[in-house]
Amino acid sequence: MKISSAFINLKYLGEFLYFYLRSNIENKINVDRPHPVPIDFIGINIASNDDVDTDSYIFNRIHELNIKNLRLYFSYNDFNNHKSRLLRKLKDFDGSLIVNISPPIKDAHSLSTDHGILIWKNFVTKFLNEFQEINFMVEIGSTINRQSWTHLSYKGLYKLWSVAFNLCRIKNRRIVGPNITDFEPFVNFGILKNLKFKHQLPDSLSNNMFAERTIEPEPYDRRVFIRKLGHFFKIDLYKKVVIYKHMAEEYQIKSLISPCAFWSIKRISRLNDHPEIQCAKYVTRYFGMLAAIGYFDKVFWGPLICDREGLISNGINNLEAYPNIEQVTFYNKALGHHSNYQITDSYKALQFFNQTVPGSQFIKNYSKDPKIQILEFETKTEVFHLIWTRNNMIADISQIYHINQLQISISKDKFGNKISMPTCINDNPVYLFWSKENRPDLIQIPYPYPKLFIHQNNENFYFLHDEDWTGVVQAKDIATYKLILKHCHPQNILIPNKNESLRHSRNAVWIKDIPNFGKVVIKKPMSIYAHKRFLDKNRPNKSIRAWNGTNMLLSKGINAAKPIAVFNKKNDPSSLENFYICFYKEGFNFNDLAVHFKNNRVFMGFTLRHIFEQCAEFINKMHSRGIFFNDLSAGNILMMTNNQNFHFELIDTGRVKDFYSSLKFSTRKKQRLTDVVRLLNKFDWEIRNIFLKHYYALNQKKPSVFTKLILLKYDASVTLKRFRKKMLKKLS
């Protein structure tokens, strides 16, 4: 960014903050404001290609989705290509059409010159004349606050805006703008103030309501003003909408439009093995929140057809084929051939949402906690709730709804498929439908289960609530839940003696065989150091930490022993009356491997190089997805063998730390090495070098002398610790 632009941004920021403080926006956020959701609420960005049959494919999908708002990009070279062809075919489109006009990136710098402005003026004049019979609004400029994407300065923006504005007014075209991306309201505010002075304000304010940078739709934006202070400013999607609403009112702009938003499959896949499924959840949750707060007249998804961000995948799966220009800035072309296009889960989720929510009346948001959403809508004949929690959270639905009300409801998943009555509320959104005569009354204000992290899979979660105990059980059905509870109810669990336990010191760990189910491992804390009791008083107890750690790993696609249940005694000041239960896994821990490799360099038919290079990939995947194990001793990683294959699983997960972002090698090197040196402690330098060389190569690095010194330092500390224990034992 140029120095002049930086100074302009500081000026705009000061003006916006003054407006924000005097407007008292903080006290004007009302998520319970009843309002109609526009029937044409949802929109999509479209582009075709040289194959004319692609146009028919696009129109068929638009009809299928019942989309009433379309938007396409148009620039200097589009008069004789698929853009022009597609635009002409939209002459009789029964809906609203926005055409974004902006100069090509290579010509953006020239707008500060008379020659560049003349070219722009000729382009806009030709565009308006050539398509004068087609009804559309004109959006001027694209992601203009991203100068590295558009190469457009503020000076160039105001010049191109002035030319396009005057020409559009002559042709009686409605004007949309200024198209800011992400949450940077001070840029909107400063530009609108300048345009007001010139009497060139748009008819509709456009801002891309991206929530991708918050990873999921609901959290406070941690990138507002200063990173990591998002919870201080508490600016979430609801608050962002209210800010833009009051900004529009300040400049007497009556219409608000979000012209583009999406989640990139590539970005989600950094932290999740099933990005397509996760993206479909975000589609429903994002549009649900915007429908609930209101104020925006039209809200668009990003490209219709694109492998990374589209509702339809182009089937290419080639990163090199992705356009150089960001598609939020200029969606130029639908790559690939329509015969290879594939409908995604996001498409299906948006299709059902568009069938259900637009045209209804929003009634109420029952939740006061941003971690859970229960949104009520109604139509002429029925009432429905759209319910979900934030990622990896859970709520007991029986503590929120009366059971008889749930039994008479119709439950549907995000795709519109009928499902069984849900046993919980989680990050996978669900629709609940009732007739108007059976409008539900909630038992209490909704809240998520406290301090519990879950990994959602195909199984159900059941909640234990009795006089002395609370807990959560994961099971495929109610019969399995009752079977687990019959054999493992916490009040009936007997702790075996030391000889019958896998471990019996600070924690008791033992195996129990449940008939018709299988072997499980039960863990119970036996003692807690006094200082730990004080330091951990505000943390979850040991069993919940073990449950959470395992679910964190599983949610990031890292193998761990599958959790079954966690139980906690009510009003337990000792923090010892709790149990964690998981499946028992038959495998070889790395202590076994360390002993074996002292005399033999092949294990179960696998060479040590094969094993430890695969292990390096496993550990690197965990680190790259934001997980720091914090206790990666040789006893806590298992090697599971199956015929000619093997894989790794982690156990004893109570100290797992999730950074909720990618663990970049350079920024998280210390945490990574803490795990690595602990894991390699019992192995010789041949094995260590194999692991380190492959681990570092995965990150385009090479292990240094410093890395080996850290290993030697840890070796020395372990040796000293063992010597100290041995001496203390002799003295005692």
Residue whose structure tokens are 């055409």: 99
Chain mean position to CA 496: 43
Same domain membership, residue 214 and residue 339: yes
Please give the Cα distance from 718 to 326 (Å, whole number): 51
The model's pTM: 0.93
Query: Regarding beta strands 606-607 and 645-650, do their DSSP bridges make them parallel or antiparallel, or are they unpaired?
Result: unpaired
**Count of domains observed in the chain:** 4
Determine the 3-state secondary structure of 213 from DSSP. Answer: helix
Residue 152, amino acid: L
Among candidates 350, 416, 357, which has minimal Cα distance to 44? 350
Same domain membership, residue 606 and residue 623: yes
DSSP for 351-397?
HHHHHHSTTSEEEEE--SSTTEEEEEEE-SSEEEEEEEESTT--B-G
Question: Could you tell me if residue 359 is left (phi over 0), alpha (psi between -120 and 50 degrees) or otherwise beta?
Answer: left
pLDDT for 320 equals 63
Same domain membership, residue 334 and residue 317: yes
Q: What are phi and psi of 161, to 5 degrees?
A: -65, -45
pLDDT for 529 equals 85
Same domain membership, residue 371 and residue 339: no
Please give the Cα distance from 220 to 207 (Å, whole number): 18
Chain mean position to CA 325: 24
**What residues contact residue 541 under an 8 Å CB cut-off, 6+ apart?**
525, 568, 572, 575, 578
pLDDT for 147 equals 86
Same domain membership, residue 404 and residue 354: no
pLDDT for 213 equals 82
Q: Which domain holds residue 400?
A: 362-438
Asked, for residue 21, whether it belongs to a domain, the answer is no
Write the CATH number for 136: 3.20.20.80
CB distance 107 to 119 below 8 Å: yes
Same domain membership, residue 198 and residue 332: yes
Domain finish residue from 538, 554, 583: 583
Cross-strand partners of 441: none
Q: Produce one character per residue of 336-370: b if its CB has 16 or more CB atoms within 10 Å, e if not.
A: bebeebeebbbbbbbbbbbebbbbbebbbbbbeeb
Same domain membership, residue 498 and residue 425: no
* Through-space distance between the first and last CA atoms of the chain, rounded to whole angstroms: 69
Same domain membership, residue 389 and residue 306: no
Asked, for residue 717, whether it belongs to a domain, the answer is yes
Among candidates 558, 604, 565, 605, which has minimal Cα distance to 581? 565
Among candidates 408, 463, 413, which has minimal Cα distance to 440? 408
Please give the Cα distance from 208 to 299 (Å, whole number): 9
Same domain membership, residue 569 and residue 483: yes
Domain finish residue from 359, 391, 416: 359
Output the CA angle 689-692-697, nearest 5 degrees. 120
Cross-strand partners of 411: 432
**HEC letters along 110-178:** HHHCHHHHHHHHHHHHHHHHHCCCCCCEEEECCCCCCHHHHCCCHHHHHHHHHHHHHHHHHCCCCEEEE
Same domain membership, residue 269 and residue 180: yes
Radius of gyration of the chain from its Cα atoms, rounded to whole angstroms: 29
Asked, for residue 26, whether it belongs to a domain, the answer is no
Please give the Cα distance from 158 to 575 (Å, whole number): 64
CB distance 121 to 165 below 8 Å: no
Write the CATH number for 434: 2.60.40
Determine the 3-state secondary structure of 706 from DSSP. Answer: helix
Among candidates 391, 407, 456, which has minimal Cα distance to 214? 391
Among candidates 215, 217, 324, which has minimal Cα distance to 271? 215
Residue ranges in 489-562 assigned as alpha helix (H): 530-535, 542-555
DSSP for 57-84?
HHHHHHHHHT--EEEEEE-TT-TTSHHH
Domain finish residue from 385, 407, 438: 438
Residue 277 to residues 475, 542, 553: CA-CA distances in angstroms? Answer: 21, 31, 18
CB distance 405 to 397 below 8 Å: no
Please give the Cα distance from 38 to 258 (Å, whole number): 14
Asked, for residue 444, whether it belongs to a domain, the answer is no
Q: Running along the chain, 732 residues long, what does each successive block of 10 average in pLDDT?
A: 77 92 80 92 97 97 97 96 96 95 92 93 97 96 89 92 97 95 92 96 94 88 70 85 94 95 90 92 97 96 94 82 85 94 97 98 94 96 97 95 96 97 96 96 94 91 94 95 95 88 88 95 91 84 96 94 95 92 93 92 93 96 92 93 90 88 76 93 94 95 91 91 80 70
Chain mean position to CA 337: 30
Q: Is the dihedral of CA 64, 68, 69, 75 positive or negative?
A: positive
Determine the 3-state secondary structure of 514 from DSSP. Answer: strand
Asked, for residue 167, whether it belongs to a domain, the answer is yes
Query: Regarding beta strands 204-208 and 255-258, do their DSSP bridges make them parallel or antiparallel, or are they unpaired?
Result: parallel
DSSP-derived letter for residue 313 is E
Asked, for residue 328, whether it belongs to a domain, the answer is yes
Query: Regarding beta strands 606-607 and 563-569, do their DSSP bridges make them parallel or antiparallel, or are they unpaired?
Result: unpaired
Residue ranges in 209-362 assigned as alpha helix (H): 230-233, 237-250, 265-269, 275-293, 345-356
Q: For residue 276, how many other CB atoms are within 10 A of its CB? A: 15
Among candidates 531, 64, 569, 612, which has minimal Cα distance to 341? 64
pLDDT for 140 equals 96
Q: For residue 422, how many other CB atoms are within 10 A of its CB? A: 20
Same domain membership, residue 522 and residue 553: yes
Asked, for residue 452, whether it belongs to a domain, the answer is no
Query: Regarding beta strands 175-181 and 204-208, do their DSSP bridges make them parallel or antiparallel, or are they unpaired?
Result: parallel
Asked, for residue 17, whether it belongs to a domain, the answer is no
Please count the CA atoms within 13 angstroms of the CA of 496 that sit on its side-chain side: 14
Please, what's the largest Cα pairwise distance for the chain?
98
542-578 pLDDT tens trace = 999 999 999 999 999 999 999 999 999 999 988 999 9
Write the CATH number for 687: 1.10.510
40-61 pLDDT tens trace = 999 999 999 999 999 999 999 9
Same domain membership, residue 600 and residue 569: no
Write the burial class of residue 42 (CB in 10 Å: 0-12 exposed, 13-18 middle, 19+ buried).
buried
